[in-house]
């Protein structure tokens, strides 16, 4: 579907983001640029998500963007109270994160940047997610079988733990998967 006058470039290695953009009916090509996902520690969660998506968008030099191209970048973070839970470093760290999230409500914030040669537009979308109290066995089973080391907060809502552990969502489900599709669609139409 043509929602923009631009050729859409998705600058994300995330298979979930690629799938969601495809399910939206948007023709796109993937173009990756490695970016270290670090941000100033004093940033609040929404600011951190926006900082990271903009950092990914600005990694592309103007000469790498054709006049008719629009680059989409995104970064999803999980926030418990004011603590940002990034991607886990290892198995132990993933288990610790899920123990923190167990029985609690947390926020999933995705920052999205749209960049052409002339313009940069970014936004964030937040979704509240509630987990039931998870047992140690459930957490270990999930981490060992689904290896969520590439996911902020150490979980994927579309995986086993989402089916058995998430009791409530307030906001966009697809935002938790990694791309706030409804807002992205509107932003693309209006870019």
Tell me which residues are annotated as active site.
Answer: 75
- What residues contact residue 58 under an 8 Å CB cut-off, 6+ apart? 115, 120
Calpha distance 44→49 (Å, rounded): 9
Maximum separation of any 2 CA atoms in the chain, in Å: 53
Residues 17-33 as b/e (b if ≥16 CB within 10 A, e otherwise) read bbebbeebebeeeeeee
Rounded (to 5) percent helix, strand, coil in the chain: 40, 25, 35
- Start-to-end CA span in the chain (Å): 15
CB atoms within 10 A of CB 103: 13
Alpha helices in 59-135 (DSSP H): 91-101
Calpha distance 12→74 (Å, rounded): 7
């Amino acid at each position: 579907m043509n929602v923009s006058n631009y050729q859409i470039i998705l600058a994300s290695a995330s298979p979930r983001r690629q799938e969601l953009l495809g399910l939206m009916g948007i023709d796109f090509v993937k173009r990756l640029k490695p970016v270290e996902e670090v941000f100033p520690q004093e940033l609040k969660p929404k600011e951190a998500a926006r900082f990271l998506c903009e950092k990914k968008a600005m990694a592309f030099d103007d000469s790498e963007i054709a006049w008719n191209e629009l680059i989409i970048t995104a970064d999803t973070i999980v926030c418990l109270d004011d603590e940002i839970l990034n991607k886990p470093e290892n198995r132990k760290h993933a288990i610790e994160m899920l123990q923190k999230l167990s029985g609690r409500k947390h926020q999933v914030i995705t920052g999205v940047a749209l960049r052409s040669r002339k313009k940069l537009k970014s936004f964030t979308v937040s979704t509240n997610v509630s987990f039931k109290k998870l047992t140690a066995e459930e957490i270990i089973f999930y981490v060992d079988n689904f290896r969520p080391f590439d996911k902020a907060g150490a979980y994927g809502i579309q995986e086993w733990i989402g089916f058995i552990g998430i009791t409530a969502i307030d906001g966009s489900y697809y935002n938790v998967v990694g791309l706030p599709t409804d807002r992205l669609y509107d932003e693309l139409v209006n870019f």
